[in-house]
Amino acid sequence: MTTTASRALPPGKSERQAPPVPPHRPASRVQRLIDALPLLVLEGGLILAWSSGFIGMRFATDHAPVFTVLLWRCLLVAIVLLPWVMRSLRAAPASVLLHHAAIGFLSMALYLACVARAIELGVSAGFAALIADLMPIGTALLATVVYRARLSARVWAGLAIGLVGVLIVGHDVLAAGDAPLWAYALPFVSMLALAIATLWQKRTQHAQALGVLPTLWVQCVISGVAFGAVAAYDGEFMPVFTPGFAAATLWMAVLATLGGYGLYWICLRRSSPTRVASVLYLSPGATVLWAWAMFGEPLSWRIAIGVAISAVGVWLVIRASSDE
């Protein structure tokens, strides 16, 4: 095999001189452990961790302003991760750090800010989760507009079926909240921001340049700056340290950030954006159940049927996209 590879090189070039593509660093013990886990196990954890974020934001509003919790959640994660990621951050080029900062602003700061403000204004956690996690549809539409992708009839059928499911779920969940009508548009902005970040992360050459923990650190820092600006504007930068605030912050930091975002980027590196999006779409059902158990939000057959119909629509989109 060495002889064959050497013949394929230009004259005067040895096998050692061939540039490695892509550059690869030895995996850490944690990374090797993660790589050994089956993808289905990681995806199951992603469903639980991602859905916990919507519940955490709803829980946070009972103890502190939600942007204060988001700010201190990012600060906590950044402080805890810093000793583990400092070496990788020093070795990373500035362009890589800027890339992940931009991804973090879209996928974490803008995504969470819109969802948080919607829930704070009275939008139910189940509805916010359902709309924000319609990312397979958002990704397909974005790919059509930006990358001029041609979608088949099955894809458009899936989009239409998914929309029907959203309308069915919204019939009950919209009635459960007391938010102004414009607040229900915020989860759609969140969905679009995450779809853009996902496609950008997967299609750029810097996507694999940092490990998961350094990536989370950069994203938490840039998001913390954004959340801090909003909290300072609202006059709610410093929290009142109570057991409820501590619990909400730990919930958001451990489950939603390290668990949710960490598993999201890990699954995205090991599979396609459409598969990650399809798994992420399963979290609204878990969020609705959690919201019913913890906050008494309505749970009806109409909601269950709407979620199922939306799932069928997204499944059609994913199957059609994978066949093309």
User: Residue 265 in 3-state DSSP?
Assistant: helix
Assigned domain for 186 exists: yes
Assigned domain for 174 exists: no
Assigned domain for 125 exists: yes
Categorize the per-residue pLDDT at 2 as very low, low, confident or very high, splitting at 50, 70 and 90: very low
Query: Which pLDDT value is given to residue 261?
Result: 93
Residues in CB range of 97: below 8 A, 6 or more apart: 89, 218
Minimal CA–CA distance to 272: which of 280, 262, 282? 280
Q: Please tell me the total count of domains within the chain.
A: 1
Assigned domain for 267 exists: yes
Q: Counting beta carbons within 10 angstroms of the beta carbon of residue 71, is it exposed (0 to 12), middle (13 to 18) or buried (19 or more)?
A: buried
Higher pLDDT, 145 or 113: 113
Assigned domain for 5 exists: no
Task: Give the integer Cα–Cα distance in Å for 316 and 294.
Answer: 33
Task: Give the integer Cα–Cα distance in Å for 65 and 80.
Answer: 23
Assigned domain for 13 exists: no
Task: Give the integer Cα–Cα distance in Å for 135 and 142.
Answer: 10
The pLDDT tens digits for 290-303 are: 778 777 877 778 77
Minimal CA–CA distance to 133: which of 302, 323, 284? 284
Task: Give the integer Cα–Cα distance in Å for 128 and 184.
Answer: 8
Categorize the per-residue pLDDT at 19 as very low, low, confident or very high, splitting at 50, 70 and 90: very low
Categorize the per-residue pLDDT at 173 as very low, low, confident or very high, splitting at 50, 70 and 90: low
Task: Give the integer Cα–Cα distance in Å for 280 and 263.
Answer: 11
pTM of the predicted structure, to 2 decimals: 0.78
Query: Which pLDDT value is given to residue 139?
Result: 75
Assigned domain for 271 exists: yes
Task: Give the integer Cα–Cα distance in Å for 281 and 275.
Answer: 10
Least confident of 44-48, 124-128, 208-212, 229-233: 124-128
Higher pLDDT, 6 or 27: 27
Q: Copy the structure tokens of residue 34.
A: 């993660």
Assigned domain for 266 exists: yes
Mean pLDDT computed over every residue of the chain:
78
Look up residue 19 and give its DSSP letter: P
Query: Which pLDDT value is given to residue 208?
Result: 62
Categorize the per-residue pLDDT at 167 as very low, low, confident or very high, splitting at 50, 70 and 90: confident
Provide the residue range defining the domain that includes 129: 40-146+179-297
Higher pLDDT, 247 or 127: 247
